Amino acid sequence: MFPATRFKSLLIIFSLTILQASAQERLFTFGEVIPLEKSLGINKSEVKNEPMNWINVNTEKATWEVRDSILVCKGLPIGVARSEREFENYLLHVEWRHMEPGGNSGMFMWSEAVPGKNRLPDGVEVQMLELDWVKLNTKNGVEPPIAYVHGELFGTGGVITTPDNPRGERSKSIENRCKGRGEWNTYEVVCVDGTIKLSVNGKFVNGISQSTQRKGYMCLESEGAEIEFRNLRVIELPGGFAKSVLEK
């Protein structure tokens, strides 16, 4: 017999999902989820890719525009759009380029997708800063480390992680492989059981582990500057142990 407590939990999650969906609007379709069996060459003709729909959290329709398979983020207002559903274990491929000097953006993994005091949500952020950011943000004439701009990883909104390459509570890349504005960068992001590994332009350079949140929405960040994304693909991996963010 189905346990009453389990039924009650599922009912709460279902109700919260309906309420959240009704309060937020679908902004655009961008990227795709590729079933694992298809990526392995199994049942290629029978298994279909799933288009990714993105829901507005606290930006505007004018913030985002899809142009010939490229997603353009205008950068204002500051906030995020989230994936329509949650993800737990997966491989993410995404390409991005900044269009302004010192541009700031990123993506959030395993997010509850609820804005905080600074309008950005919880989760694990994968940083995407343009190379000139360090020149435009000097302190007492000293530039921040260049490793900060290309794929620093860190927990936000109360999410705690263990950094592979500590810079305080954050993890910095061990090598600068980021390209400047107008040039496409490629991130491969491996998210498995609370561990994230990041490859920048063909080499793994950063990682975190033991994330206190390991399932949730994927978020695209709008943070003051125009950035473009393309070729976003997700391959889902087996999971099932992590709790939904709706169960928090």
**What's the token pair of residue 19?**
């309420």
Q: Which helix (H) or strand (E) holds 12?
A: helix 4-23
From 2-11, 47-56, 94-103, 165-174, the region with the lowest mean pLDDT:
2-11
Structural contact between residues 96 and 223, judged by C-beta atoms closer than 8 angstroms: no
DSSP string covering 141-157, please? TBPPPGGGGEEEEEEET
Question: Percentage of the chain surpassing pLDDT 90?
Answer: 73
pLDDT of residue 5: 55
- pLDDT tens by residue, 87-128: 999 999 999 999 999 999 999 999 999 998 889 999 999 999
The CATH architecture annotation of domain 26-247 reads Sandwich (2.60)
**What's the token pair of residue 9?**
């939990």
pLDDT of residue 20: 47
pLDDT of residue 42: 73
Mean pLDDT of the region 36-64: 87
**pLDDT at 23 > cutoff 80:** no
Q: Which helix (H) or strand (E) holds 107?
A: strand 104-111
- pLDDT tens by residue, 8-21: 444 444 444 443 44
- Name the one residue in this structure whose structure tokens are 């033991």: 210
Structural contact between residues 97 and 41, judged by C-beta atoms closer than 8 angstroms: no
Amino acid type, 7: F
Tell me the pLDDT band of 4, cut-offs 50, 70 and 90.
low
- Name the one residue in this structure whose structure tokens are 């959030």: 108
pLDDT of residue 21: 44
CA–CA gap between residue 91 and residue 189 (Å, rounded): 6
Mean pLDDT of the region 149-159: 92
